[in-house]
Structure 1
Amino acid sequence: MPVVISFVSTKGGVGKTTVAANLGGLLAAFGLKVLAIDADVQPGLSRFFPVQYRSPQALSAVVTSGGNPSIDCISRTIFSNLDLVYSDTPDAALQAWLNRREDRLMILRRAMRSPLIEPYDVVLIDTQGAVGELQKSAAMAADLMVSPVKPDALSAGEFATGTIAMLDELNRLADFGESFRSGDLLTLINAHERTTNARALAAVLRQRFAGHPKVRVLDTVIPSAAAYAAAATARIPVHDFDRRRRFDNSAWNVMHRLAWELFPSLANVYTGSPRRAMVDVGTVNIRVGDVGQEALA
């Protein structure tokens, strides 16, 4: 089964879509088979990747299938190994449909275990920056949740209250059994400015969640840099836009460090390296042959 990573936050504008798109592009360049799912009513991820084949159905069909989606929901991007389920729910209709379902929290979890999804190595789910049943369902589907946080007072405050409150609500479901247990939450400091205030807020976040049983602040920090916006405009993964290997904070190096931290067995492997590797997240093992041989198209 694939490793499922959901990008969650109860605040918009923290960079979930950009991080998800860039990570998906890099993992696909490693040769992993990646499925990106846009579960945001404001479909940023759907617009990020140029599409080679657009499927007749999309997110709504995945959800309303009750956990048994069909091949008609999956589009192909122009990038090798990177497929997409685009968002087709610009209003509250899908949220309203989920609200009426007693199994609403488990629908995407079942879908991620369906035969259609099984061939993928990694599934990345982008969500809306708000609280809702679709966001909770995406969180429950995940082996890991990644929550980007900008080191400013508003973003850090919302994370410490809204996002953590959502996590606590999901954790209470674990009393009903292992099948209701959500993944851990990984906090990613994103768009870090070179200011004293940003450094101080980042340090406070790390201190506050040190030793937390379900929350960990990642070591990787994504800096505030023009390359990320420019790559999104060009609609290419940022590691392929800013390839300056000599600069520690170049997008090439930062995104590789993020991939290594999420998938430790890829550590020190760069896309394009003809080396075999084992991707390992928790108890999930994915064998990858000739890492990087299937580069971006």
Structure 2
Amino acid sequence: MRVVSVVSTKGGVGKTTVAANLGGLLADAGLRVLLLDLDSQPTLSTYYAMNHAAPAGMYELLALNLTDPAQVLSTTAITGLDLILSNDDQGRLGTLLLHAPDGRLRLRNLLDTFRPSYELLLIDTQGARSVLLEMAILASDIALSPITPEMLAARELHRGTLKLLSELEPFRHLGITPPPLRLLLNQVNGNRVDTQRIIRSLRESFAEATDISVLETVIPDRVAYLNAASLGQPVHRIETRQSFRRRTPSALETMQALAIELFPEWHEAISAVDKCVEAR
């Protein structure tokens, strides 16, 4: 099971939208996908309609080590896409894990239960520095960080997310290597004068880095993503073809490109999603 955490210490960069749409696309590609909502504001938990809502969720998973699938796994209306609901609205987990001996490693130590049942775990996180965010990163194979092409977001990346990753380096002494960071340019408005300059600067900044890279895929600022969220559907089902008025790829093509860039081993299944969409 591949584990990807969608992370940023800055709110409003589109973490939940990326996690929901990436999970929806890969489920439509025939993969078994589990979403874990670690945000105390449970946006991901309400993104898709539920076929079954489990009686427990992320609080019981992390506070009580409850891994019984019948208790913690909810099923969405998207075939192959399951969810562990966020149910810590009072924010108790942060304090609990902060003082637990295994707090930052709790999730990593619980994942073996789910590995036989899923090919991918996608973790949505809160847009702030916390022990939950650190725990998610240390459990992951890849940290995916959406970043909007604006100067404030670029500055927050350096003093927030990158600083956090550097502070997790001591876990290497325990045999735990912090995951590589993949930066995803999100909500890109090509009409802004400074957009391309900021994107170019970001790419140049990490051109020589070994564990940090800027993905080639760029997600545009398009109404299709808002419409998809309103409808509770993955965006690739909503916008399947490139508009004659736009030169940017369709949402289907964009999400396929992102998924293939992150998971080249699933290239064939991801590329076939367009046929699944047409068959609906």
TM more than 0.5: yes
Contact 1:54/1:76 (8 A) holds in 2: yes
Deviations 1:80-126 (A, max 9, x none): 00000010011221101111102111111112222x34310000000
5+ unaligned residues in a row in structure 2: which ranges?
none
Per the TM alignment, residue 65 of structure 1 is displaced from its structure 2 partner at its CA by 3.2
User: How many residues were matched structurally?
Assistant: 274
Q: Please tell me whether the aligned partners of residues 6 and 143 of structure 2 are also in contact (alpha carbons under 8 angstroms).
A: yes
Higher strand share: 1
| TM-superposition CA deviations, 1:14-45 (whole Å, max 9, x none) | 00000000000000000000000000011110
The 4+ residue runs of structure 1 with deviation greater than 6 A are none
Look up the match of 1:163.
161
Aligned to 1:265: 265
TM (normalized to structure 1)?
0.88
Identical aligned residues as a percent: 36
Verify the 8 A CA contact 2:5 2:140 in the aligned structure 1.
Answer: yes
Contact 1:26 1:271 in 2 (8 A): no
After superposition, the Cα gap between the structure-2 partners of 1:139 and 1:162, relative to the gap in structure 1 and judged at 3 Å, is: same
The answer as to whether partners of 1:223 and 1:249 remain within 8 angstroms in 2 is: no
**Aligned partner of 2:257: which letter?**
R
State the match for 1:283 in structure 2: none
Is 2:45–2:86's contact at 8 Å kept on the other side of the alignment?
Answer: yes
Aligned to 1:97: 96
Q: Which residue of 2 aligns with 1:286?
A: none
Distance 1:117 1:64, change over 3 A: farther
Aligned partner letter, 1:138:
A
Cα distance in structure 1, aligned partners of 2:174 and 2:132: 21
Contact 1:193 1:224 survives alignment (8 Å): yes
SS at structure 2 position matched to 1:113: helix
State the match for 1:251 in structure 2.
251
Residues 28, 296 of structure 1: 8 Å contact kept: no
Please say if residues 23 and 122 of structure 2, whose CA atoms lie closer than 8 Å, have aligned partners that are also in contact: yes
1:245: Cα distance to partner?
Answer: 5.0
Q: Comparing both structures, which one devotes a greater share of its residues to helix?
A: 2
Equivalent-residue separation in structure 1 for 2:228 and 2:140 (angstroms) = 27
- TM-score, length of structure 2 as denominator length: 0.93
| Alignment match, 2:34 | 35
Residue 73 of structure 1: how far off its partner (Å): 0.5
**Alignment partner, residue 44 of structure 2:** 45
For structure 1, the residue ranges without an aligned partner over 5 or more in a row are 275-291
Q: Structure 1 169/296 Cα, relative in aligned 2: closer, same or farther at 3 Å?
A: farther
C-alpha spacing 1:47/1:96, structure 2 compared with 1 (3 Å): same
Give the root-mean-square deviation of aligned CA atoms. Answer: 1.9
Stretch deviating more after TM superposition (72-81 or 207-216): 207-216
Q: Distance in 2 between matches of 1:19 and 1:273?
A: 19
- Quick check: 1:80–1:296 contact (8 Å CA) kept in 2? no
CA distance in 2: counterparts of 1:7 and 1:273, whole angstroms: 25
Shift of 1:296: 10
Superposition deviation, residue 61 in structure 1: 1.0
